Amino acid sequence: MKTQQKIAIIGAAGFLVAGFVFSHFYLHRKSREELIEIARELAYTWKKELELDFEQTSKLEDLIIEYTLKKNEIINATALTEDETILKLKDIQKAEHRKLQKLMSDKQFAKYLEVNKKISRKS
C-alpha cells in the first residue's frame, strides 16, 4: 500500500471518528438540556408544594440533576444483578435524603417524604 493511500485511509478514519464524536456530544447535549428542563420543572413543583425559597429551589434543582445522573448510571450498569441494582439505588436514595434534609426545614422534609410516599403508592 502506498503512502498516499495510507494517508487517505487515516484521513477517512479521522473524519469518521470526528463525526462520531460530534454526534456523541450533540446527543449528550440534547439529553442534558432535557434533564435540566425536567429538573427545573420538578424543582418548581416542589417549590410550590413545600414553600421553598429561591436558594432552596436552586439547590434542589442541582440535587435532582446530580441524583438522576447517579441513578441512571446504576440502572444502566449491565454488570449488576437486579438485587445489586436495588441495593445501590437504596444507598443513593439515602444519600439524597441526607442532602435534602440539610437543604430543607424539618417541616418541609417531612412533607416531602409524605408526598413521595403518596406518589409511590399511586405508581
Rounded Cα distance between 42 and 31, Å, is 16
Q: Which residues, at least 6 apart from 44, have a Cβ–Cβ distance to it below 8 Å?
A: 57
Assess contact for 68 and 39: CB atoms under 8 A. yes
For each of the chain's 123 residues, which pLDDT tens digit applies?
666 555 545 544 444 444 444 444 444 666 778 888 888 998 999 999 999 999 999 999 999 988 888 888 888 877 888 888 888 888 988 999 999 999 999 999 999 888 878 877 765
Smallest CA-to-CA distance from 96 within 74, 121, 76, 78 is with: 74
